Amino acid sequence: MGILRVDKLSGLETPTAVTGSVVFDGTGDALTITSNDITMNNADYTAEGWFYYNALPSSSAYRLLGTVNVAGDTTEWQLIHATNGTLTLWNGSAYTSTGTSPILINNWTHLAVVRSSNVQTLYVNGKAQPTTVAYSANLTHNVFDIGGRTDGAESFNGYISNVRLLKGTALYTSDFTVPTHELEVIGDTVLLCCNNPDSAGAEATGKTISIVGNAAASTFSPGLTRDFTGGTEFNSVTTFDTQGYFVPPSGTTEQRNLCGTRGLFGGSNPTPADGSGNAIEFITVSTTGNSQDFGDRIGKGRRQIAAMADRTRGVFGGSYGPSSTMGDTIDFVTIASTGNAVDFGDCLNDLTEATGISNNTRGIMAGGRTPTVHDVMQYVTIKSLGNAIDFGNLLVAKRNCGSFQSPTRGVVVGGRNSGGTSLKVIEYVEISTLGNSVDFGDLSTAGGEVNMGGSNSVRGIIGGGNPSTNAIEYVTISTTGNSQDFGDNTAAARGLNTMATSPTRACMYGAVAPARDLSYVEIATTGDAQDFGNLSIDPTSNYHAGTSNGHGGLS
């Protein structure tokens, strides 16, 4: 038995100040967003953010957050810092809630405004302020200002970071511990901004921000860290004195967060019968059991899609149906939560039947049809938002391929060409570069069309095909060569990149045949698959795309 010496163990330093802010100089600066999402109507809502005051107001009040100001209009709300040094909520004609907690200059302060069941509360550093107000107004304004007003009056002097607006959720209903991690898009988020050190106009849900005056991006931030979903997080300097007995694992806590991997299966056909299904299901890869509902993709017809992921986000590209129509939508979800997908950007064109490759930085959509079968690869940067960019070309035009990845290499397997012929070629790209794919080898026995693919950082697993087969094969990703026999699936199956993997396990969804069946293999071994459970949605659904926050590109 090995000996672990822990004379000195004080933690791996995690990154701080990972988010930026927007600086306002107090002379007419503001950010403004126009969107129907901002119209709260009669819903609950939460607005929050961090504020760093360079100075308190002296001669006039200024606005921190709120909908556009119209004198005497009670269909708006604003968070204002008044000249008497207090924070107040303004309903368009009168001050309502008043804050009593002191606001210090040259310090970051977390502020939150929450309407819950028609009661509005102001929170300062997680503490509910004593004056609340019944507030049932139908809030109809669709313009939201940050740091000032669109007309240039009442401008904040300082920094604002991580502003988030939720429509339909009262996130805080009593005193709370202020978040220590950067804020993320969660289920009802309609705005998330002021967190990019390079762009004052960056916004995480796809909205356009107009910059008024000299408001500008800054690297100054509240010192928030990234949120980890598992493992041990160390927040200070680490030293190890092991005398040769112990070698600590490499990488940050985020990079080593390998437990509790969640797999997503997105898109479906025909659920409902017109082929317009948009369901997302999830599993915990280390367990067994039926999948659970996660949420929905944007719109209808979100089947035969490309799925990609980093440790935080699952990204889906393209669509097909209903009525055989295609779409160019790219949307994303936050994997650790549940909820509907949020708009990310657009593909280069309408796209279906592409396959997805990803590491912790990039997501690549390879092949597919537009409606013509093509050889184009296109990519996005997963942590940001935006439209896809050209990456390069596959060896030949193809669709219905499988794929998998290591942190450096993406592999595309099988597929069928524009003439409908099944292909057995395996090819690869270097994810961090741009360029055309390179030949890897050939499939040995598995069907070449509608393969399932998944991997850890070392070994790629290939299953199914068309016609349906129970064959499972594997390759070593860092080498080249033909695939080798791994074992047999629980039944003959075909899919469309419908695997969700962790560093140890590959979970497969059998797609068309057998309907709903989930099975798994241990990647480092060889042998036959075992039963995992069933996909919970319509038993005739198929053509899902699978991904996870623990796949081989993230190790």
What's the CA gap between 245 and 2, in Å, rounded?
7
pTM over 0.95: no
What sign does the dihedral 68-73-78-80 (CA atoms) show? Answer: positive
pLDDT in tens, the chain (555 residues): 444 444 434 333 333 346 799 998 878 888 988 888 888 888 888 989 998 888 776 655 556 666 555 444 445 556 666 555 556 665 555 555 566 666 777 888 898 888 888 887 888 888 888 766 677 777 777 888 888 765 555 678 889 999 999 988 899 988 899 998 899 988 889 899 999 988 899 998 888 999 988 899 998 889 888 654 444 444 444 444 544 444 444 444 433 444 469 999 886 554 454 444 678 889 999 999 898 888 888 866 566 789 999 999 999 998 876 666 788 999 999 998 888 888 899 999 999 889 999 999 999 999 999 889 999 999 999 988 889 999 999 999 999 888 999 999 999 998 889 888 888 899 999 999 999 999 999 998 755 665 788 999 999 999 877 667 788 999 999 999 999 999 998 877 765 557 899 999 999 876 544 456 889 999 999 999 999 988 876 544 556 788 999 999 996
Provide the token pair at 346.
Answer: 């657009």
Q: In the chain, what are the domains? A: 1-16+225-255 (no CATH), 21-218 (2.60.120.200), 264-554 (2.120.10.80)
3-state SS class at 534: strand
Return all residues near 544 (Cβ < 8 A) that are at least 6 apart: 265, 266, 267, 268, 281, 303, 495, 496, 498, 509, 511, 535
Return all residues near 243 (Cβ < 8 A) that are at least 6 apart: 5
pLDDT given for residue 233 in this prediction: 45
Provide the token pair at 16.
Answer: 């701080």
pLDDT given for residue 75 in this prediction: 52
pLDDT given for residue 154 in this prediction: 62
pLDDT given for residue 153 in this prediction: 58
- Region for 66 from its dihedrals, namely left if φ exceeds 0, alpha if ψ lies in -120 to 50, beta otherwise: left
Return all residues near 472 (Cβ < 8 A) that are at least 6 apart: 446, 461, 462, 463, 485, 486, 487, 488, 489, 521, 529
190 with 166: CB under 8 angstroms?
Answer: yes
Nearest to 492 by CA among 447, 550, 427: 447
Provide the token pair at 17.
Answer: 């100040």
Residue 554 φ then ψ, to 5°: -110, 0
Cβ atoms within 10 Å, residue 126 = 15
pLDDT given for residue 322 in this prediction: 64
Return all residues near 394 (Cβ < 8 A) that are at least 6 apart: 366, 367, 375, 376, 377, 412, 427, 436, 437
CA Rg value for the chain = 26
pLDDT given for residue 513 in this prediction: 45
Adjacent-strand bridge partners of 295? 280
pLDDT given for residue 538 in this prediction: 53
H helices then E strands: how many in the chain? Answer: 0, 40
pLDDT given for residue 76 in this prediction: 53
pLDDT given for residue 265 in this prediction: 87
What's the CA gap between 367 and 449, in Å, rounded?
13
What's the CA gap between 7 and 195, in Å, rounded?
39
| Helix, strand, coil distribution of the chain in percent, nearest 5 | 0, 45, 55
Provide the token pair at 426.
Answer: 């395996």
Q: How many CA atoms does the CB half-sphere of 74 hold within 13 Å? A: 8
* Residue appearing with tokens 């010192």: 223
